[in-house]
Structure 1
Amino acid sequence: MKNIITLSLALSISCLSFSQQDIDPKLTEVWQPKVPKVVPGNNNLAPSDAIVLFDGTNFDSWNGKNNTVSWTLNSDGSMTVKPTSGGITTKQKFGSIQLHIEWKSPIDIIDKKGQKRGNSGVFLQGRYEIQVLDNNNNETYSNGQVGSVYKQSIPLAMASVPTGEWNMYDIIYHQPEFDVKGNVVKKATVTVLHNGVLVQDHFEIQGPTVYRGKPSYKAHGEAPIFLQDHGDLVSYRNIWVRKLD
């Protein structure tokens, strides 16, 4: 009986192989839609289809408190948080995006500890925070350290460069979906590379960032990107996005 089953299986595979060889390979070629050509960025240049949010020359794409950005525009093409002036938001609203952003902690904060050392944050759609923090020889709670989805997801690695040097975040974010009653039917997801190292792998965000308690979703549409003023002199440069919707 075993030999009969083996022979039958072999004949079936043989017939399948023969029939596959008879199929015209052109039947499985897809020619439409055409793939759009994008010129990749290099030497701190954004890809050709990106929206440049900050190139070091002005704050034209940003709003601050009372529609005025009080952060410092530096001669090296970066901007620095002005403590107590408040965070800044993009004038443009976004849904799902690829975001590139570079940041560094001030060199003179190495005597500070925990969450008081180079603290800021990148808030996707103004709600979902990717933590910015100097964790070089500086331990804090794991779901609040650099590269975390703050208070939600511990990063897979700590990939920071030395304090005072430039870090890079490359973020792939897909916005949540809601039904007509405002209930979340598909949670937001985020993938984060920190200096080229994967630290968040398609994490399903549980709701807007909260400091206390558990997050919960409320329906929303496209919204600005928000950079946090947490009282530290964190600097940012070379910020661009590509829409994924």
Structure 2
Amino acid sequence: MYQHRIIRWALAGAAAFLVLGFRISLGAEGEEGFRPLFNGKNLDGWKADEEAKKHWVVRDGVLTYDGKDGNLWTVQSFRDVVLKVDWRLPAPGDSGIYLRGSSKAQVNIWCSELGSGEVYGYRTDKKLPEEIRKAATPLKKADKPVGQWNTFVITLKGETLTVVLNGEVVISGARLPGVPDSGPIALQHHGNPIEFRNILIRELPRTEDSSQAVLICTSCCSFAAGQGSTIELFNGKDLSGWQLKGDPQRSKWAIGKASLDPADPTKLQVSPGGSDLVNLATSLDLFTQQRFGDARVELDVMVPRGSNSGIYIMGEYEIQILDSYGRTRLGMGDMGAIYGAAPPRVNACKAPGQWQHFVIEYQAPRFDAQGKKTANARILRVTLNGQVLHENVELKGPTPGGVTGREVAAGPLMFQGNHGPVAFRNIRITPLGTGP
């Protein structure tokens, strides 16, 4: 008997991901565009004073530091990069990775309850706006127990930093005002032993306005959001490139052919032979690991009778999904509403169990170099089943229930899963390339 492919989010071994709409598989040193910074044999390509070098030793492909002297620096300087590195603390301790030669732009490795990935110099700088300091604080603690290997994937593009630790996004699009334009990478001396291995780097092209693109990489892949390229966000097979918000054991997301349950029209059912993304019952929100600024979202959605969900643009601004079929009086919680902000102009909702087509164009909020918001986000245009619901609506703040509850220059696409059954297909996004 066919079993629903319920997603439990044990996808650490997933090898296929999306890069600007193309699927690739990535290995270790053969990863697309990556090259080794550490050759596993000696310190070629690295520098330190002669005394410090005595304390950085290569054993069996592992770069081992005894904690007794100075930092180890790359000979080469770098600008925009994706850096992938495995690290292990043999005992409770503290270390970090300096970016562009800056101790302030240090991605921290430590045993704090905050978790590794913190950008210490920005989080603790009380002269910076609260938004900057908060973004430099990990969203969660994703460290493995002391003595186990961890993997960082660090993406720095212009002044925008994203850090993924063990497949979890811990720093999402943090702004680092004043970070140097280029500089070497350093493995930090902080008086504690630490080990590194599999240090890979991918240099990124520098755009004239680097804030127009935000790159995010997981432990297996890199993603890029570039101007004008339409990206298929869902591969129809698994949740590669997506993340659940909460305990994966509570997930009711499945993949197959969605339809209304003939025995109970308030439910959806899944059958073999399809590639629809279906939430079968109240469970967890689901969002992309990739972040976007200004963009156009296009997708199909299906709801059963009386069900409720939402499309969270940038993970923070909700376009409502609700069975509003046949209603004549519309409010800010009906199908296609900007939840809590603006009702739809017309009721374009189809009957329960039918596929419905959304097109949503939006503009991200704007921030100055210090991270202070200078302009609110805007919904430029929303159509449902070919009918215009909204045009040029200013959003003064995020909708409750989003990914982080804070406004940023780039954010994920999120589907609300904690309100009821819903199905999606043909999920596409086109970055507009008009970012802040």
**What TM-score comes out, normalization by structure 1 length?**
0.68
Partner residue of 2:323? 134
- Structure 1: which 5+ residue stretches go unaligned? 1-47, 110-116, 212-216
Deviation string, structure 1 residues 163-218 (Cα, Å, up to 9, x no partner)? 2100111011110102345443211111101111110112111210138xxxxx95
What SS does the corresponding residue of 2:275 show, helix, strand or coil? coil
1:23 matched residue in structure 2: none
Query: Contact conserved, 2:282 with 2:420, CA < 8 A, in 1?
Result: no
Q: CA deviation at 1:61?
A: 2.3
SS at match of 1:121: strand
Checking the alignment, whether the CA contact within 8 Å between 1:82 and 1:229 is kept in structure 2 is: no
Alignment match, 1:238:
426
Partner residue, 1:197: 387
Contact 1:64 1:70 in 2 (8 A): no
Residues 177 and 226 from structure 1, CA distance in 2 versus in 1: closer, same or farther, beyond 3 angstroms? same
What's 1:59 paired with? 239
Is it true that 1:94 corresponds to 2:289 in the alignment? no
2:281 aligned counterpart, secondary structure: coil
Which residue is 1:32 aligned to? none
From 337, 343, 352, the counterpart of 1:163: 352
Percent sequence identity is 28
Tell me whether 77-86 or 224-233 shows the greater mean CA deviation. 77-86
Counterparts of 2:410 and 2:376, CA distance in 1: 14
Higher relative contact order (CA 8 A, sep 6+): 1
Displacement of 1:101 after TM fit? Answer: 1.2
The ranges of structure 1 where at least 4 consecutive aligned residues each deviate by more than 6 angstroms after the TM superposition are none
1:50 to 230, 236, 249: 230
Give 1:222's aligned residue.
410
Distance in 2 (CA, whole Å) between partners of 1:224 and 1:72 is 20
**Within 1, Cα distance between the matches of 2:358 and 2:351?**
15
Partner letter of residue 164 of structure 1?
G
Residue aligned with 1:156, SS: coil
Deviation for aligned residue 1:231: 3.2
- Aligned position for 1:176: 365
Letter in 2 for 1:152: A
Q: From the two aligned structures, give the one with the greater helix fraction.
A: 1
CA–CA separation in structure 2 for the residues paired with 1:157 and 1:141: 8
CA distance in 1, matches of 2:352, 2:430: 29
Measured in 2, the distance between the counterparts of 1:218 and 1:179 equals: 16
Are the aligned partners of 2:253 and 2:280 in contact in 1 as well (CA < 8 Å)?
A: yes
Check the 8 A contact 2:278/2:422 in 1, yes or no: yes
Q: TM-score, normalised by structure 2?
A: 0.39
Q: Distance in 2 between matches of 1:182 and 1:141?
A: 37
CA RMSD across the alignment = 2.4
1:166 and 1:244 map into 2 onto residues whose CA distance is 26
